[in-house]
């Protein structure tokens, strides 16, 4: 049980850092196939599935709560080096995914999903809010629906190896807001501030429901796609990974750039690359 909780914490850490893939972490720890099976067979193998899913999700949730404040601080005070570290994490995960298509010939049919998903990420970045901008999460029906949809999308990408759910939140402009809301909720709970708790729940509840729905929906789709078109699926994932650093840099606020910041950012990129390379090792 303790081992599963610790593995869940590793998955949670991966999911909270834009660029690090929770799916890749699951693969590296030998959990991916088991988790997908448990999610897609929850009804028929309920008790067996819960024995794996509960400690994994508990560990992931714990890691997210503990680390959310750290990343909120880094993005607010050191946005450029932090984003370069994220880019390094993304780039460092690429060789791990490229291995999956090694030995297979490159064809037009495989290049097309690469280009389509590359374009989707870039277009989302160009249309989305810049990193650090606060998404509108005031309590309205439209925003509740948006938060639910964002949760579904983020959860879907969390399950895909090589794709970061938190990166997708950043591209959609909700990463900073969700982190801040988690921290506000913790502060409100500690202070017994019921108004603050209800405000945070109004944001986190629709997002959380979307995450749960997204995980169950996408797990079945992923199982189907990888069973029938695994190599094409990995080309699509490579397109997402290659485009993601570009997208994050498009959304970065460059107003605080300086020579020391540029040097620190280069170092942060290298550190991110090394960490991602180690996390992706099988």
Q: What pLDDT, in 10s, does the model give residues 70-88?
A: 877 887 788 899 889 888 8
Q: CB–CB of 150/209 below 8 Å?
A: no
pLDDT of residue 132: 45
Assessment of whether the complete model's pTM goes beyond 0.85: no
Residue 21 has pLDDT above 50, yes or no: yes
Q: Helix or strand or coil: residue 241?
A: helix
pLDDT of residue 112: 95
Strand spans (E) along 204-243: none
Mean per-residue pLDDT of the chain: 82
pLDDT of residue 64: 81
Percentage of the residues of the chain whose pLDDT score is greater than 70: 89
Quick one: 141 exposed, middle or buried, by C-beta within 10 A (0-12, 13-18, 19+)? Answer: exposed
Closest residue by Cα to residue 137 from 208, 70, 200: 200
Measure the CA angle with vertex 250, ends 65 and 143; round to 5°: 50
DSSP 41: T
Of 131-135, 229-233, 245-249, 252-256, the range with the lowest mean pLDDT is 131-135
Q: Which among 10-14, 142-146, 223-227 has the top mean pLDDT?
A: 142-146
Closest residue by Cα to residue 12 from 152, 149, 157, 158: 158
Task: pLDDT band for 136, please (50, 70, 90 cuts).
Answer: low
Residue 127 has pLDDT above 70, yes or no: no
Task: pLDDT band for 177, please (50, 70, 90 cuts).
Answer: confident
Q: Which residue has the higher pLDDT, 103 or 31?
A: 103
- Average pLDDT for 114-140: 72
Q: Quote the CA–CA distance of 276 and 282 in Å, as a whole number.
A: 12
- Average pLDDT for 216-231: 84
């Amino acid at each position: 049980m303790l081992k599963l909780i610790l593995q869940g914490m590793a998955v949670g850490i991966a999911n909270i850092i834009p660029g690090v893939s929770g799916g890749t972490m699951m693969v590296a720890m030998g959990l991916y196939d088991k988790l997908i099976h448990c999610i897609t067979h929850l009804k028929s193998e309920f008790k067996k599935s819960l024995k794996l899913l509960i400690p994994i999700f508990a560990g992931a949730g714990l890691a997210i709560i503990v680390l959310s404040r750290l990343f909120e601080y880094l993005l607010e005070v050191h946005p450029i080096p932090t984003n370069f570290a994220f880019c390094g994490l993304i780039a460092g995960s690429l060789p791990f995914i490229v291995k999956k298509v090694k030995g297979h010939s490159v064809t037009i049919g495989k290049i097309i999903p690469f280009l389509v998903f590359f374009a989707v990420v870039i277009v989302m970045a160009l249309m989305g809010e810049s990193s650090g901008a606060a998404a509108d999460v005031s309590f309205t029906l439209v925003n509740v629906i948006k938060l639910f949809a964002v949760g579904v999308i983020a959860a879907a990408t969390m399950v895909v190896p090589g794709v970061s759910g938190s990166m997708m939140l950043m591209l959609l402009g909700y990463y900073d807001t969700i982190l801040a809301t988690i921290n506000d909720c913790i502060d409100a709970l500690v202070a017994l501030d019921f108004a603050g708790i209800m405000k945070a729940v109004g944001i986190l509840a629709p997002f959380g429901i979307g995450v749960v729905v997204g995980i169950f929906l996408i797990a079945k789709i992923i199982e189907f796609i990888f069973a029938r078109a695994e190599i094409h699926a990995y080309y699509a994932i490579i397109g997402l990974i290659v485009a993601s650093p570009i997208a994050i840099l498009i959304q970065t606020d460059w107003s605080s750039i300086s020579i020391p910041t540029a040097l620190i950012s280069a170092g942060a990129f290298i550190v991110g690359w090394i960490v991602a390379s180690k996390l992706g090792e099988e």
